[in-house]
Chains A and B, each alone.
Chain A
Amino acid sequence: MKAERVGLLLASFAAILWAAPFAWMAVASVRPGVAGASDIASLWPSGPYSLANFRDAWDSGQFPLWYLNTALLCAGIFAVQAVTVSLAGYAFARVNFRGRETVFVLFLLQLLLPPAVLVVPNLNMITKTGLFDSLAGIGAPYCASAFGVFLMRQTFRSIPRDFEEAARMDGASRLAIIRDVLIPLARPGLAAFAVVSVSSHWNEFLWPLMAVSSPRNQVLTVGLASFTLSSESGGEWGVIAAGTALVAAPLLIGFAIFQRRFVANLVSTGLK
């Protein structure tokens, strides 16, 4: 197959271009004191190597605080979402009620209007509710997730009804059935949603930038942006590379570990 070979060759060239910024990040981050050197753009590793850039980035930024805030934010959003999307997903999958189609369309609306578009009114809302400048304020607009509801609806539908019937015979309440029977069976769906939810909130910038004013509530992306702007003027490219690596590393490492599931989940983001 000649065409296939050519395709792989072209894709390889593209992948080299695609990887170049990452390669530079890796090389520059371990080369200390390259500021002002003529070969700071070199992708060819040449020593001496040290972790000084990482130390400088760590000391000049507030990485421990940013990591903590970002982790709390992502965990908090997902914890609330897990409850809201499971309950609503169950209602759409298993309960017949008047107006189901209408409510479903109302949920659909959130898919069409990503919170990023509504930053101005949402800022107004968290200010009024006293959530401005808090992690809860950053997370609040994401506590309901139409995407998560759709995903859980599909997951619940794929579970045979027999399990619930058996539990109902034993006299279990609806909430107990959801909690003890359906959720454990729906774990793959929730896991898929967790990957999508955590990675998107880990990476978000504009809304956390607007929703928070004091440094102690900053998340990684907002921290990295101010850190980059201040290091840029000093031409400290090695330190910027190290700081960027610190922000990007957790998801890249997670991707390396869970690669297959990650790819499947990213795709299912929309296909479900």
Chain B
Amino acid sequence: MTAWLLLAPSLLFLAAFTYWPVIGVTLRSFTQQRYGQQASWGFDNFRRLAADAHFGHVLTNSVLYAVGTIIPSLALALGFAMALRRPGRLATVLRTVLVMPQLIPLVAAAALFVFVFLPGEGLLDHYLAYFGRHATNWLGSPDLALWAIIAITIWKNTGYYMLFFLAGLAGIPDELIEAARVDGAHGWRRFVDVILPLLGPTFGFVTVIAMVNTLIQIDHIIVMTGGGPSDRTNMILYYIYQQAEQNQDTGLAAAATVLCVGGLLLLSVLSLRALERGIHYES
């Protein structure tokens, strides 16, 4: 009895803002409203979603965005952690600089990068001009806009992921690495055969965070591109936001949210499995 009283405040808010919303949005997604008829159950919203060319672009973009940000930022984060894992004044300064983007709002990062990517006079073009490159419309070009958005996300998150790898590396006993050294394993082999397997759980964990991040980090897209040009930077959450706020199409927004929730739960289960395997591997 006592336990339930202690849990009640949390459960009340969870019920109102997690459980019921999931149920409610699922019911809503299967509720269809045809012109001149009463609302009924059915797959209309999902059918409309599948037929929407924008949503096709959204799925492609979301996959590109996820792969394009997760792989480079995890690789860089691991590289930075390896380079900066030993204490030292320079290492401390460099770590701080790399973590700074994590501390500012994504909207503030967007405000800065609007100028970085400004054609001609902006920071990037100003310095690229020294290498003979002409003004580039980074955010306005259908071929480049998504990469510009990806660059911002990598800049923003890599330092944060580095912290997890630093913590993971700190958890590896020096004797293990020393033993490998004594056995004659050289730098790269030591890294691949000893350090990487021991970082398995860290990798699994950071990958989950990174996947959730690519799904929910769309603030810079709202401020900088509005999903354009020609839908090239339109992501699933931005699409949901657009349908709900601009088109007032709650049915479509609900169907997209349900797919999103389902995808998240599936990804979490899969990566938890992978994570467990990583832990088994370790022991």
Give the distance in Å from the alpha carbon of A148 to the alpha carbon of B107 in the complex: 25
Contact with A along B250-283 (1 / 0, CB 8 A): 1001100100110011001000000000000000
Known: A18-B101, A263-B99. A237 touches B10 (CB 8 A): no
B131 interface residue (CB < 8 Å to A): no
* Shortest distance from the beta carbon of B60 to any chain A beta carbon, whole Å: 20
Measured between beta carbons, the chain B residues less than 8 angstroms from A243 are 111
Known: A18-B97, A91-B3, A119-B244. A240 touches B114 (CB 8 A): yes
From 148 to 175 in chain B, residues with beta carbon under 8 angstroms from any chain A beta carbon are 155, 159-160, 163-164, 166-167
Cβ-defined contact, A88 with B9, below 8 A: yes
Most A Cβ at <10 Å: residue of B18, B99, B110: B18
* Shortest distance from the beta carbon of A255 to any chain B beta carbon, whole Å: 5
Contact with A along B222-250 (1 / 0, CB 8 A): 11000000000000010011001100001
B108 interface residue (CB < 8 Å to A): yes
A244 interface residue (CB < 8 Å to B): yes
Cβ-defined contact, A84 with B237, below 8 A: no
Known: A3-B187, A120-B244, A271-B164. A252 touches B18 (CB 8 A): no
Our pick among B10, B76, B265 for the contact of A87 (Cβ within 8 Å) is B10
Total A-B residue contacts, Cβ distance less than 8 Å: 271
A85 interface residue (CB < 8 Å to B): yes
Cβ-defined contact, B98 with A112, below 8 A: no
* Shortest distance from the beta carbon of B65 to any chain A beta carbon, whole Å: 15
Our pick among B99, B166, B257 for the contact of A121 (Cβ within 8 Å) is B257
* Shortest distance from the beta carbon of A253 to any chain B beta carbon, whole Å: 10
- With both beta carbons as reference points, the residue of chain A lying nearest to B268 in the complex is identified as A112
- With both beta carbons as reference points, the residue of chain B lying nearest to A4 in the complex is identified as B86
Measured between beta carbons, the chain A residues less than 8 angstroms from B108 are 221, 224, 244, 247-248
Q: Chain A's interface: helix, strand, loop or mixed, by majority? A: helix
Our pick among A95, A255, A267 for the contact of B2 (Cβ within 8 Å) is A95
* Shortest distance from the beta carbon of B96 to any chain A beta carbon, whole Å: 7
Q: Chain B's interface: helix, strand, loop or mixed, by majority? A: helix
Measured between beta carbons, the chain A residues less than 8 angstroms from B20 are 121, 125
Measured between beta carbons, the chain B residues less than 8 angstroms from A15 are 93-94, 97-98
* Shortest distance from the beta carbon of A43 to any chain B beta carbon, whole Å: 8
From 213 to 227 in chain A, residues with beta carbon under 8 angstroms from any chain B beta carbon are 220-222, 224-225
Measured between beta carbons, the chain A residues less than 8 angstroms from B82 are 7
A71 interface residue (CB < 8 Å to B): no
Most B Cβ at <10 Å: residue of A85, A144, A174: A144
Measured between beta carbons, the chain B residues less than 8 angstroms from A122 are 17, 21
Measured between beta carbons, the chain A residues less than 8 angstroms from B116 are 20-21, 24
Known: A113-B18, A206-B219. A120 touches B250 (CB 8 A): yes
| Sample of 21 A–B contacts (CB below 8 Å) | A3-B187, A14-B76, A15-B94, A41-B123, A85-B10, A90-B6, A91-B2, A117-B216, A118-B17, A118-B25, A120-B244, A121-B28, A123-B244, A140-B13, A146-B14, A203-B107, A206-B222, A221-B219, A240-B114, A248-B108, A252-B104
Beyond A109-B19, A124-B250, 6 additional contacts (C-beta under 8 Å) are A110-B14, A118-B25, A120-B25, A205-B219, A224-B105, A252-B104
